[in-house]
Amino acid sequence: MRPDASKKLAAVTPKKGPNPVIIGAVVAVVVILAVVVAILVGRPDSSGTAGNSTPVGVTGGKGGGIFVNSDTAKSNAPTLDVYEDFQCPGCAQLEAKVGAELTSLAKAGAVKLVVHTLSFLDDNLKNDSSSRSANAAACAADAGKFLEYHGAVFAAQPPKEQEGVGYTDAQLTEFAKTAGITGAPLTTWQKCSDSGQYDQYVTDVQDASSRAKINNTPTVKLNGQDVTQTVQTPEALAAAVKAATK
Amino acid sequence: MDLSGGGRRADLVGLLARLVLGVVLLVSGGLKVTSPAVSARAVRAFQILPYDFAGYVGYALPVVEILIGLLLIMGLLTRASAAVGGLLMLAFLVGIISAWMRGLSIDCGCFGGGGTIGAAETQYGIDVLRDAGLVACAAWLVVRPRTAFSLDHRLFG
C-alpha cells in the first residue's frame, strides 16, 4: 500500500484565492507611501524663498518679536513680551482693557515692549488674515507706527461670533491710514503689505514661539515670567511693571 | 462559516467592533487630514515628543487613521489593522492620561482642533472612556479576527 500523500499534496498545492502575504505587503507599501507623502506635503516650506528680510526693531534672533519702543525704553525697564494673533478674540479683549496703559508705559519707556505677532489661527480658521495682518503690522514697524497699526487692527476685529471673517486688503490699508502713515511712507507700506515682504518673518515668529511653548494667545511675559492672568487691568499691569523694575 | 449560534453571534460582535473602530478612525482622520498644521500643533500641545518629530507625527497621523479605518470597515487584514488601530488608541490613551496628570489644559485634538484651551473646557474623562472602549474593540479583533461580512472571509476563506 502506498503511503498517503494527500497531506503533503495539500500543503504544496496553492490555496484558491489571493495570497494574504502579497495583499498585506501591498497594503503596507501603500500606507508607508501615504505617510511619506503626508509628511512631505504637511511640512512647512523652510527654504525661505520670500526673502529673509526682517522689519525694523526685531530682537532676539530669528523669529524674534518687534521691540516696539527701543527709542524710549529706559535701560532698567523690565522686558514685556506680548504674544498675540490679530484674529484672536482674547487678544482684542486684552488690548481693549490694557492697550492704552501698555502704550503709555511704552512711550514713557517704563517697559521694553516686545510684540510677537503669531499666525496660527490661520490654520484653525482656514484663512490667511492673521499672517496678512501680521505682515502689514511689520511693514508699519518700518514706518515707526507698529503700535498704532496694532491698535487699529484690534479695534476693527470682527465680533467673536464672526471669528474667521478676517481682514480685507482694503481694511489693512485703512488701518495704515488710521495709524497715521501718510505720503511716501504709505506708498512704501502699501508695497510692503501687498508683496508680503515679511511673510517669511511672520512664519519664523510663529515657529520660534511654538518652539518656546507659547501655545496660547494672548500670552504676556514680564522678564520671562508668564503674567497673562495678573495683568488684566491697567492698574495691575502698571503695578506688575513697577514691581519688576530694578 | 460556522452557522452554529455561538460562533455566528461572535462574528456579529466582531463586525460591530470592526465598524465602530473603523468608522471612528476614518472620521477622525478625515476631519484632520485637510489641516496638517493644526494636527501638528495638536500633537505638540501634549509636550511629549520633540518639536520636529511631533510635527511629523501630526502630519502622518490623519493619513494612517484613514487607511486603517478603511481596512477595518472593509474587513481586510482585520487582525493586523486592528492591532495597528489598537496601538494608536493605546498611544492616545497614554498621551491623554499623561496630559491630564501633568495638569495641562489641552484639547486632545482627536477630531480636529487641539491645542491649549481653558482649564474648565477640558474633557479628559470622556476622551479616556472613549479611547478605552476603542482599545477594547481592537483587542477583540486581535484575539478573534473572524467577523461577519468581511473581505478577509471572501478572499481567503
**Using one digit for the tens of pLDDT, what is the confidence trace for A151-162?**
999 999 999 888
Q: B73 falls in which pLDDT band (50, 70, 90)?
A: very high
A110 assigned to some structural domain: yes
A32 assigned to some structural domain: no
A46 assigned to some structural domain: no
| Closest CA–CA distance from residue A211 to any residue of chain B (Å) | 7
What was the pLDDT predicted at A19? 86
Among B87, B116, B121, pick the best mutation site for testing chain A contact (most A Cβ within 10 A).
Answer: B116
A168 assigned to some structural domain: yes
Chain A stretch 32-51, residues whose beta carbon is closer than 8 A to a beta carbon of chain B:
34-35, 37-39, 41-44
Res B80 pLDDT > 60: yes
Q: How many structural domains is chain A composed of? A: 1
Q: Is A126 on the interface with B (CB under 8 A)?
A: yes
Closest to B39 measured CA to CA, from B107, B134, B125, B118: B107
3-state SS track over chain A = CCCCCHHHHHHHCCCCCCCHHHHHHHHHHHHHHHHHHHHHHHCCCCCCCCCCCCCCCECCCCCCCEECCCCCCCCCCCEEEEEEECCCHHHHHHHHHHHHHHHHHHHHCCCEEEEEEECCHHHHHCCCHHHHHHHHHHHHHHCCCHHHHHHHHHHCCCCHHHCCCCCCHHHHHHHHHHCCCCHHHHHHHHHHHHHCCCHHHHHHHHHHHHHCCCCCCCEEEECCEECCCCCCCHHHHHHHHHHHCC
| Closest CA–CA distance from residue A119 to any residue of chain B (Å) | 11
Q: A45 falls in which pLDDT band (50, 70, 90)?
A: low
| Coil, helix or strand at residue B111 | coil
What was the pLDDT predicted at A9? 64
Find the closest chain A residue to B56 by CA distance: A39
Q: Which residues of B touch A (CB under 8 A)?
A: 33, 35-41, 44-45, 47, 51, 55-56, 58-60, 62-64, 67-68, 71, 76-77, 80, 106, 113, 115-116, 155-157
A162 assigned to some structural domain: yes
Report the predicted TM-score, pTM, of the whole model to 2 decimal places.
0.78
Structural domain boundaries, residue A187: 66-244
A139 assigned to some structural domain: yes
Q: Are strands A225-226 and A66-67 parallel, antiparallel or unpaired?
A: unpaired
What was the pLDDT predicted at A14? 57
A2 assigned to some structural domain: no
Find the closest chain A residue to B117 by CA distance: A216
CATH number at A116 reads 3.40.30.10
Query: Domain limits of chain B?
Result: 5-146
pLDDT exceeding 90 applies to what percent of chain A? 77
A17 assigned to some structural domain: no
| Closest residue to A211, CB basis, from B51, B62, B63 | B51
**Residue of B20 and A7 predicted with greater confidence:** B20
| Closest CA–CA distance from residue A181 to any residue of chain B (Å) | 34
